[in-house]
A and B are shown apart, each in its own frame.
Chain A
């Protein structure tokens, strides 16, 4: 009775090509398996990326759908409003102009003995932070003091008409020899040179 090994030996002898076919089949099996696994893994990875990209695309579509394009009138209004940005700060080159403006303002308020000075360093008092869009408007590295005498109404008028580019950090009033001396400490917001309305 022939055993399986005999049968196998006879098979190898009679059909040598089948042995080659088995070898090729095994190679194809392994290669196809490897390729399939790699493709499956890569496909899963790409699917995750595609999902993320799809979410981005959806958000983009929503954004495009919801975004309202400014009308021409709104644009012109916005442009006009952006021109006021210069009032929010003083470029370094305009420091002297600020001093001149303050003295004129004091004169207009009928204040006398007006003394305007610039002090190096930022005032230690709190300065409200200010920003335009995402960019902050930093305090200048100097502060301005204004000393004068006059009426309290003049002080109120002076303070009320200060430009937006300064912030009142300190204010002092003292009665002396029949008149009242006032001291106003101003912090200045500084714009970089060349920054204009945007």
Chain B
């Protein structure tokens, strides 16, 4: 994977400077510088030029620090009571909207420290006001730069304004607590800043250059320094800058230095002389600014994970978090239930398919079983019929096997009932005496009783007696005759 290359871009509406540098142990080494000078009417055009220059420099993986001038960018200092950022931010936004007439600014602010010049000092427990450094730009400008550079896969380390660069340059290259002015003469004019107690107190943009006027006119520069010094005295309780750090093109440095010393009485010292031209100095300042933890960075950053969690779980946003979390859980649960439903339905369809596949076989089995049952029915019905005939014949034979010679049947009646054959036998018996006749009659009864012990309701009744005189007068013996009835139910075969 190609190594990341580092660049700084100083963007102006008339000029784009792209500096490639490499960080080394002793500092930064400038590798290449490209300049494009023409009027850029939109931030998109500036961004496209930066991308084009980087493309011409064959930069693939780019890490870029940007210093933005013009396009509505601004720098402002405010004194505000000590408060948290949540409280301070809306105050700053209202102040910026009121002062700079920008309805939708992108604002970055830092609070370097307290700034209390009150005499006498505050009582114990009193909170000192804080000086707030504010940088900003119209939201569409920042959004355009963000969109173009992000699309070109350029990593932007920082997007800041010129006074923030001066602040870090002063801190890195000088850092004196003495009231000091800093003058950086860029191609678009002199940039002036004042530091008191090591902190940035005042920053002044270059005045508008009229047509034909040299941007680095000595008289104009001196006037600007004098005006700035007066404003510093007014704002900072009479503070007077006694020294000036100057970064100017080499051909102008001596002239400017001697004139400033002569006109203002300030001691002039070079600023970043070893770095090179003022644009190189600013570029290095931009790098320093981009790598500080407390800085004015206008480039939109995705909030950190902790910040996102804190934002999502505090205040009214927690409502949304809870609702969305509950919705996500509900969706997950519903998806689980739905997948369970699909699975159950699939199982059901599978089992139904199995049963449907088996049904034709069942039909065949049922037909076969019906056939077997039918055959079994035929067989048992035939067997029943045969058994019925056998028992009927047996019944009739049992009646003819009566061992009693004196008894005989007169008539016989058999009727089919549910448990067999209800049989009624009418007969007569004769004997030399009444007892002999009864013995003859009951002999049949006993014969039936012994031969067929399973007979039910076996009954014997004597209907009448008749005494018959002897037919032969020589034989004087009379004959006793009786009529009897035997009833019983002969069991039939068991029903199949």
Chain A positions within 8 Å of B409 at CB level: 173, 175
> How big is chain A's contact interface, by range?
35 or more
* B414 near A29: Cβ-Cβ < 8 Å: no
Chain B positions within 8 Å of A15 at CB level: 317
Name A81-98 residues within 8 Å CB distance of B. 81-82, 84-85, 87-88
Contact A36/B338 with A25-B324, A133-B377, A159-B396 known, Cβ cut-off 8 Å: yes
Task: Classify the interface of chain A: helix, strand, loop or mixed.
Answer: helix
- Distance in angstroms from A69 CB to nearest chain B CB is 8
Q: Does A117 contact B (CB under 8 A)?
A: no
- Count of A-B residue pairs with CB < 8 Å: 203
Q: Does B459 contact A (CB under 8 A)?
A: no
* A57 near B377: Cβ-Cβ < 8 Å: no
> In the bound complex, what is the Cα–Cα distance between A160 and B388 (angstroms)?
9
Contact A128/B492 with A43-B337, A57-B351, A82-B374 known, Cβ cut-off 8 Å: yes
Contact A160/B412 with A49-B348, A81-B375, A130-B381 known, Cβ cut-off 8 Å: no
* B352 near A53: Cβ-Cβ < 8 Å: yes
Chain A positions within 8 Å of B385 at CB level: 88, 164, 167
Contact A156/B411 with A29-B330, A81-B375 known, Cβ cut-off 8 Å: no
Q: Which of B143-151, B232-240, B362-370 contacts A (4 or more CB under 8 A)?
A: B362-370
Q: Does B386 contact A (CB under 8 A)?
A: yes
Q: Which of B95-103, B197-205, B209-217, B339-347 contacts A (4 or more CB under 8 A)?
A: B339-347
Partner of B378, one of A26, A50, A84, A175: A84
Chain A positions within 8 Å of B368 at CB level: 67, 69-70
* A82 near B378: Cβ-Cβ < 8 Å: yes
> In the bound complex, what is the Cα–Cα distance between A82 and B396 (angstroms)?
32
Task: Classify the interface of chain B: helix, strand, loop or mixed.
Answer: helix
Chain B positions within 8 Å of A132 at CB level: 374, 377-378, 381
Q: Does B418 contact A (CB under 8 A)?
A: yes
Q: List residues of chain A with CB under 8 Å of any chain B CB.
A: 4, 7-8, 11-12, 15, 18, 21-22, 25-26, 28-29, 32-33, 35-37, 39-40, 42-43, 46-47, 49-50, 53-54, 56-57, 60-61, 63-64, 67, 69-70, 78, 81-82, 84-85, 87-88, 125-134, 137, 152, 155-156, 159-162, 164, 167-175, 187, 198
Q: List residues of chain B with CB under 8 Å of any chain A CB.
A: 315-317, 319-320, 323-324, 326-327, 330-331, 333-334, 336-338, 340-341, 344-345, 347-348, 351-352, 354-355, 358, 361-362, 365, 368, 370-375, 377-379, 381-382, 384-386, 388-390, 392-393, 396-397, 400, 408-418, 421, 492, 495
